[in-house]
Protein backbone atom coordinates (compact mmCIF):
# COMPACT_ATOMS: atom_id res chain seq x y z
CA UNK A 1 0.00 0.00 0.00
CA UNK A 2 1.31 3.40 -0.97
CA UNK A 3 1.64 5.93 1.83
CA UNK A 4 0.88 9.52 0.89
CA UNK A 5 1.75 12.58 2.92
CA UNK A 6 -1.31 14.81 3.07
CA UNK A 7 -1.15 18.10 4.92
CA UNK A 8 -3.55 18.69 7.79
CA UNK A 9 -5.16 21.66 6.03
CA UNK A 10 -6.05 19.55 3.00
CA UNK A 11 -7.30 16.74 5.19
CA UNK A 12 -9.51 19.17 7.11
CA UNK A 13 -10.94 20.49 3.83
CA UNK A 14 -11.70 16.98 2.65
CA UNK A 15 -13.31 15.92 5.91
CA UNK A 16 -15.42 19.08 6.21
CA UNK A 17 -16.61 18.70 2.62
CA UNK A 18 -17.56 15.07 3.20
CA UNK A 19 -19.36 15.93 6.44
CA UNK A 20 -21.26 18.78 4.84
CA UNK A 21 -22.29 16.61 1.92
CA UNK A 22 -23.44 13.73 4.11
CA UNK A 23 -25.09 15.70 6.94
CA UNK A 24 -27.34 17.87 4.75
CA UNK A 25 -29.71 15.03 3.68
CA UNK A 26 -30.03 13.83 7.29
CA UNK A 27 -30.85 17.31 8.55
CA UNK A 28 -33.23 17.86 5.64
CA UNK A 29 -35.13 14.70 6.58
CA UNK A 30 -35.99 16.00 10.08
CA UNK A 31 -36.01 19.75 9.42
CA UNK A 32 -37.24 20.38 5.88
CA UNK A 33 -35.48 23.27 4.18
CA UNK A 34 -36.09 24.90 0.82
CA UNK A 35 -34.56 23.28 -2.25
CA UNK A 36 -32.34 26.31 -2.89
CA UNK A 37 -30.79 26.07 0.58
CA UNK A 38 -30.41 22.30 0.29
CA UNK A 39 -28.71 22.67 -3.09
CA UNK A 40 -26.47 25.45 -1.79
CA UNK A 41 -25.15 23.34 1.08
CA UNK A 42 -24.69 20.25 -1.10
CA UNK A 43 -22.87 22.31 -3.72
CA UNK A 44 -20.70 23.92 -1.06
CA UNK A 45 -19.73 20.51 0.29
CA UNK A 46 -18.85 19.22 -3.17
CA UNK A 47 -16.85 22.36 -3.97
CA UNK A 48 -14.84 21.99 -0.75
CA UNK A 49 -14.11 18.36 -1.63
CA UNK A 50 -12.94 19.32 -5.12
CA UNK A 51 -10.68 22.03 -3.69
CA UNK A 52 -9.13 19.47 -1.35
CA UNK A 53 -8.54 17.05 -4.23
CA UNK A 54 -6.93 19.79 -6.34
CA UNK A 55 -4.63 20.75 -3.47
CA UNK A 56 -3.72 17.08 -2.94
CA UNK A 57 -2.85 16.72 -6.61
CA UNK A 58 -0.72 19.88 -6.62
CA UNK A 59 1.09 18.72 -3.49
CA UNK A 60 1.69 15.27 -5.00
CA UNK A 61 3.11 16.77 -8.20
CA UNK A 62 5.35 19.09 -6.20
CA UNK A 63 6.71 16.18 -4.14
CA UNK A 64 7.53 14.03 -7.19
CA UNK A 65 9.08 16.78 -9.33
CA UNK A 66 11.53 18.13 -6.87
Residues of the chain with pLDDT under 70: 1-4, 65-66
pLDDT value at position 30?
Answer: 95
Q: List pLDDT tens digits, range 34-46.
A: 999 999 999 999 9
- Contact assessment for residue 64 and residue 12, using Cβ atoms and an 8 Å cutoff: no
* Residue 62: per-residue pLDDT: 78
Amino acid sequence: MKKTNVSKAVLMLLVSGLLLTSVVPVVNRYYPMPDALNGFFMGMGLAIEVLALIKMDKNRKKMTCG
